[in-house]
Amino acid sequence: MTLAARPGELAALSSLAAFAAGRRRQAVLAVVGVTLLCLVLAIVATGQGAVQIAPARVAEILMAKLSGQDELLTGRDALVVLNIRLPRVLLAMLIGAALAISGALMQGLFRNPLADPGLVGVSAGAGLAAATTIVLGDRLLAGTGFKLPFAALPVGAFCGGLVSTLALYLIATRQGRTSVATMLLAGVALGALAGSLTGLLAFISDDRQLRDLTFWSLGSLGGASWAKLVIVAPIVLPLLFAVPLLARGLNALMLGEAEAYHLGLPVQRIKGLAILLVALAVGASVATAGVIGFVGIVVPHLIRLAIGPDHRLLLPLSALGGATLLVGADIAARLIVAPAELPIGIVTAAVGAPFFLWLLLRRANHVDL
């Protein structure tokens, strides 16, 4: 599938390109800046934590691992760096990138700056499935002698996200055409329905399950492990590289759906693909880390403010920005109340909500997308 605009085809697109060219300096700065920030934060995140380990010792452990000197990797420090922190930093980067790029994708698709992955019902569907596993899982298996498998919750959440997205897509698609407006409204309706069912489950849950539900819905990277990374990375990494292929299509969509269609773009395919990618990315991240709010909505806006609305830059930079934000937020979540740990959703929302308000106030006299 080629989504690239043919040469000389679009006056509008080329003016957009010129607009982007005018921002090239800013873009280069942004790419270099965010990459550096992300690297610095990743290094800090690997070096810092509740367990005090000297930077030299961390470097020594990492070097020993890289050079295969496993005999140096015994003891608590090595376990903490290699099995707790490192997978956690990588998972934070993957999930942050997935959430932010999904947000950018949604905002482009809906041509609505308020869109975020939660809007298409992925989070709500995943949340409902997770609540079902937490509350009903043990009851359904009571007396059978089986215990709920460890992976039931993440797998359930992932499937819940996919199923709700599929339902939404089917509702919004008539005769091979997906109406983005119907999708938005149906997403709200399905989200409310899933929310109500989740509320019902919360009602019949016991105290223990209610606490689990609450903490799950606040998100945490605390469960990071190499095993989880091995499951999530093959889903998210290809997406991160596939999504930027939609950039030109999303740029054209900014002119309007009909216009993009008449320009010869496979609009329906772009929409379908975008929804599928978002469902996979968000489903995978919700399944591993619970619901982490605001990354999807805040990061693309920040990037757009810095480098403008060209999706060719916006999408990859959003991914990078999301990774940076989540690694940073996770450092805060781990360190603020150490040796305890804050749910990361609290940190991202605490940063995201004031920013979001500022954005709304700013939009009152200055519209940008």
Tell me which residues touch another protein (CB under 8 A).
49-52, 76, 79-80, 83-85, 114, 116, 118-119, 123-124, 127, 150, 188, 191-192, 195-196, 198-199, 202-203, 205-208, 211-212, 214-215, 217-218, 220, 222-225, 291, 293-294, 297, 334, 336-343, 345-346, 349, 352-353, 356
50 φ, ψ (degrees, to nearest 5): -65, -35
Q: Residue 340, class by beta-carbon neighbours within 10 Å (0-12 exposed, 13-18 middle, 19+ buried)?
A: exposed
Residue 248 CB, nearest approach to another protein (Å): 28
Block residue for tokens 């492990």: 225
Q: Residue 125, class by beta-carbon neighbours within 10 Å (0-12 exposed, 13-18 middle, 19+ buried)?
A: buried
Residue 223 CB, nearest approach to another protein (Å): 3
User: Residue 15 contacts by C-beta under 8 Å, 6 or more apart in sequence?
Assistant: none
199 vs 256 by CB, closer to another protein: 199
4 vs 360 by CB, closer to another protein: 360
Q: State how far the alpha carbon of 174 is from the alpha carbons of 142, 153, 168, 184, in Å.
A: 43, 33, 12, 15
Residue 176 CB, nearest approach to another protein (Å): 28
What is the maximum span of the chain, computed from C-alpha positions, in angstroms?
A: 69
Block residue for tokens 């060719």: 312
Helix (H, G, I), strand (E, B) or coil at 339: coil
Residue 295 CB, nearest approach to another protein (Å): 10
Q: State how far the alpha carbon of 309 is from the alpha carbons of 20, 94, 211, 284, 306, in Å.
A: 8, 23, 41, 27, 9
Helix (H, G, I), strand (E, B) or coil at 360: helix
17 vs 346 by CB, closer to another protein: 346
Residue 191 CB, nearest approach to another protein (Å): 6
222 vs 266 by CB, closer to another protein: 222
How many C-beta neighbours within 10 Å does residue 286 have?
A: 32
16 vs 327 by CB, closer to another protein: 327
86 vs 270 by CB, closer to another protein: 86
Residue 167 CB, nearest approach to another protein (Å): 17
Residue 247 CB, nearest approach to another protein (Å): 25
146 vs 203 by CB, closer to another protein: 203
How many C-beta neighbours within 10 Å does residue 140 have?
A: 12
